[in-house]
Amino acid sequence: MTRATELDAVRRQCRALVRKRALVSAGVAVLPIPFLDVMVDAGILMQLIPEISQRFGLEVERIEGMEPGQREKVWHVVRARGSQLIGIVLTRAIVRKTFLDFAGRMVARQMAKFIPLGGQMVAAGLGYFVMRRMAYKHIDDCHAVAMTLD
């Protein structure tokens, strides 16, 4: 099996994992407790992002242990993709900053919760799609960076 085929398989596995976790996010979004879903999403992402990076072999320790030329190549691709989550130790501050990029949707999601039933469904849908989109971007970034490694 070629490296590209292996990485495509990892990407498919990660996307399946993300869809499952996004369903949890959507389920919590239905509950009419303000900002509970944001806290749960942050917890999910703090677990999910490093797991995705690890599956692609892009954990901090591995990148720092590479030979200097390879390490510079990885950092160059990471910067070119604008990724903020590859090869770093994930903290709540980073998750919060990433959430701010999706702030408009998050506010709409919080407001939608207070519209009876239909609003909760909208909040759940937004929760699912925001979580999935954020994680899919990280998967795509990791895939692109891992493709440069040989």
- Res 140: pLDDT: 93
Using the structure block, give the residue that is written with the tokens 């509950």. 31
Judge if pTM exceeds 0.75.
yes
Q: Is the pLDDT of residue 105 over 70?
A: no
Contact yes or no for 26/128 (Cβ under 8 A)? yes
49-68 pLDDT per residue, tens? 889 989 998 887 788 888 88
pLDDT of 91 above 60: no
Give the residue with greater pLDDT, 122 vs 100: 122
Query: What DSSP designation does 82 have?
Result: T
Q: Is the pLDDT of residue 143 over 90?
A: yes
Average pLDDT of the chain is 79
- Domain of residue 13 covers 3-148
pLDDT-derived band at 11 (thresholds 50, 70, 90) equals: very high
Total number of domains in the chain = 1
57 torsion bin: left (phi>0), alpha (psi -120 to 50), beta (else): left
